[in-house]
């Protein structure tokens, strides 16, 4: 009996791992790393995570969970409430609707796909923020942030593939 | 990196896709609604933020410890390279500072005597709390920090965040166990300042760049690179004379200030209560005064 209930709760834990990983990435992205000059360009870890799960296990990361993750990121990060929600939803939608193009293909294709998504959402983010704050927010830091996010995508994928294989199963 | 595809081919059935699309549309509209609500009801958003950050403060605190350790280790290795130079530099600086100390002592006693002669009203007492930075939130769009001291430690909205080098920013939101500090480089930061030597007034306004801009300088004001910028105390939100930075570049159309404090490497900051509440609204003021409430 105990073994059954234990395996059941382990299974449940497995199934929420993608959602938990998104929350963890949001927390990690605001943790201070103390690297000089890098504070302004912290990569968007949650975006990569959402993109990954949207492609490879969308059944474990439903869009309402993405909504909650985005809201959490907005409340924690201090940017306009709802902006990250919209951005993550777009990322999730693109990942999910184009997943056929990525699954089973070389990793480079997913990477390029992610680049396109990142560029699109970056523009959405920048325009929305400029409208909401009433000034043109300077773009260099934004650009660096997305370049870094793009560059770290393989690293993140490497980690998530391990999580996917050994934890989620 | 080929991956097993899970059991979700059912997601791609046309009927489900349609429902999924509607769900996205619905959620996206929700996001837009949130943006509008956030713009309209600032107080509500601030409450929600404070609640979320309060709840996650212990986790952030935990996460920030190894980060600080790693940063310190990197710094250690870097410093080993130029230890000798550093010692020389510090020795010289120490000598110079000792001379300054002497000068300051003399001035202090002279100042005290003069104050006594002039019967100057004493400035209100200054209290401060030292807090650890547990998150630098915002990324490329916002310049703010979370610190691990909040309302229960005596932190109030409007208090000044400082380090030994100079001003960092101002407390913008206060939770129970944490507070958010808006840095002087943030897009929303406006600080009345003056040039220390010429007493020329200006407004230091952040634009998320590393060096905030100096605005509304007088037309005949002469600014030179290296001029010290201090708070002017106008508006009653900041006490006069707090050091902020040096003029880093001055051209006809733009003057930029390099803050004394390196905002990317803050670990501990002091939140100082100068007992000023010039910028707070009437409602905030009553909140700021009654401790224990948010």
Q: Which domains does chain A have, with CATH numbers?
A: 2-168 (1.10.1760)
Tell me the pLDDT tens digit for each residue of A75-127: 887 668 888 899 899 999 989 888 888 888 888 888 999 999 888 888 887 78
The partner residues of B144 in beta bridges, in order of sequence, read B182
Range with the lowest mean pLDDT among A21-30, B33-42, B119-128, B244-253?
A: B119-128
The conformation of residue B123, written as its DSSP 8-state character, comes to P
The conformation of residue B153, written as its DSSP 8-state character, comes to G
Sequence spans of domains, chain B: 86-120, 129-282
Tell me the pLDDT tens digit for each residue of B178-209: 898 999 988 888 999 998 888 889 999 988 88
Q: Using an 8 Å CB-CB cutoff, list chain B residues near A67.
A: 27, 30-31
Q: Using an 8 Å CB-CB cutoff, list chain A residues near B140.
A: 40-41, 141-142, 144-145
Considering only CB atoms, A31 lies closest to which of B27, B33, B63, namely B63
Burial class (CB in 10 A: 0-12, 13-18, 19+), B128: middle
**Residue B188 backbone phi and psi in degrees, to 5:** -95, 5
Cβ–Cβ pairs < 8 A, chains A and B: 183
A123 touches chain B (CB under 8 A): no
pLDDT score of B121: 66
Q: How far apart are alpha carbons B24 and A109 in whole angstroms?
A: 25
What's the full length of chain B, in residues? 294
Interface of A with B in 58-117 (CB under 8 A): 58-60, 63-64, 66-67, 70-72, 74-83, 85-86, 89-90, 93, 96, 100, 103-104, 106-107, 110
The answer to whether the Cβ–Cβ distance between A89 and B31 falls below 8 Å is yes
The answer to whether the Cβ–Cβ distance between B38 and A41 falls below 8 Å is no
Residue A41 distance to chain B (closest CA, Å): 6
Q: How far apart are alpha carbons B13 and A159 in whole angstroms?
A: 31
Q: The tokens 């630098």 sit on which residue?
A: B136
Q: Over 50: is that where the pLDDT of B228 sits?
A: yes
The answer to whether the Cβ–Cβ distance between A133 and B64 falls below 8 Å is no
A134 touches chain B (CB under 8 A): no
* Count of helices and strands (H, E) across chain A: 7, 0
Name the closest residue on chain B to residue A64, using Cα atoms: B27
Q: How far apart are alpha carbons B162 and B160 in whole angstroms?
A: 6
Kindly indicate the confidence band of residue A39, based on its pLDDT and cuts at 50, 70 and 90: low
DSSP, collapsed to helix, strand or coil, labels residue B39 as helix
Q: Are strands B179-183 and B190-195 parallel, antiparallel or unpaired?
A: unpaired
Kindly indicate the confidence band of residue A31, based on its pLDDT and cuts at 50, 70 and 90: confident
Q: Over 90: is that where the pLDDT of A69 sits?
A: yes
The CATH number of B129-282, from 2.40.10.340, 3.30.43.10, 3.30.70.20, 3.40.640.10, is 2.40.10.340
Q: Which residues of B86-102 are buried (b: 16+ CB within 10 A; e: fewer)?
A: eeeeeeeeeeeeeeeee
The conformation of residue A86, written as its DSSP 8-state character, comes to H
Q: How far apart are alpha carbons A44 and A64 in whole angstroms?
A: 19
pLDDT score of B258: 92
């Amino acid at each position: 009996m105990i073994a059954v209930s234990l395996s059941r709760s382990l299974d449940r834990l497995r199934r929420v791992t993608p959602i938990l990983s998104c929350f963890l990435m949001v927390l990690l992205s605001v943790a201070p790393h103390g690297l000089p000059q890098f504070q302004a360009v912290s990569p968007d870890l949650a975006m990569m995570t959402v993109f990954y799960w949207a492609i490879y296990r969308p059944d474990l990361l439903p869009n309402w969970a993405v909504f909650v993750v985005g809201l959490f990121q907005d409340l924690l990060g201090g940017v306009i409430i709802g902006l990250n929600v919209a951005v993550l939803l777009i990322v999730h939608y693109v990942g999910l609707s184009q997943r056929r193009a990525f699954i089973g293909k070389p990793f480079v294709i997913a990477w390029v796909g992610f680049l396109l998504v990142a560029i699109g959402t970056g523009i959405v983010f920048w325009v929305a923020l400029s409208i909401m704050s009433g000034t043109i927010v300077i773009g260099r830091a934004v650009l660096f942030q997305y370049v870094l996010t793009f560059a770290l995508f393989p690293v993140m994928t490497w980690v998530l593939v391990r999580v996917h294989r050994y934890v989620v199963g | 990196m080929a991956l097993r595809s899970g059991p979700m081919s059912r997601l791609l059935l046309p009927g489900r896709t349609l429902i999924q699309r509607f769900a996205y549309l619905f959620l996206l509209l929700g996001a837009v609604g949130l943006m509008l609500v956030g713009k309209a009801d600032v107080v509500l958003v601030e409450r929600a933020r404070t609640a979320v950050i309060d709840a996650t403060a212990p986790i952030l605190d935990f996460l920030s410890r190894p980060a600080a350790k790693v940063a310190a280790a990197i710094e250690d290795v870097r410093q080993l390279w130029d230890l000798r130079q550093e010692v020389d530099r510090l020795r010289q600086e120490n000598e110079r500072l000792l001379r300054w100390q002497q000068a300051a002592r003399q001035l202090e006693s002279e100042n005290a005597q003069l104050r006594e002669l002039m019967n100057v009203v004493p400035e209100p007492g200054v209290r401060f709390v030292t807090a650890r930075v547990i998150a630098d939130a915002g990324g490329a769009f916002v310049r703010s920090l979370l610190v691990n001291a909040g309302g229960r430690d005596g932190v109030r909205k409007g208090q000044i965040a400082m380090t030994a080098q100079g001003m960092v920013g101002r407390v913008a939101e206060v939770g129970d166990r944490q507070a958010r500090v808006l840095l002087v480089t943030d897009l929303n930061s406006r600080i009345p300042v003056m040039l220390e030597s010429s007493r020329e007034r200006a407004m230091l306004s952040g634009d998320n760049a590393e060096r905030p801009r100096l605005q509304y300088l007088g037309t005949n004001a002469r600014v030179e690179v290296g001029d010290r910028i201090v708070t002017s105390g106008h508006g009653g939100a900041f006490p006069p004379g707090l050091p902020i930075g040096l003029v880093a570049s001055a051209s006809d159309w733009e003057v930029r200030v390099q803050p004394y404090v390196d905002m990317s490497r803050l670990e501990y900051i002091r939140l100082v209560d100068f007992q000023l509440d010039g910028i707070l609204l009437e409602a905030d003021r009553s909140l700021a005064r009654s401790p224990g409430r948010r």
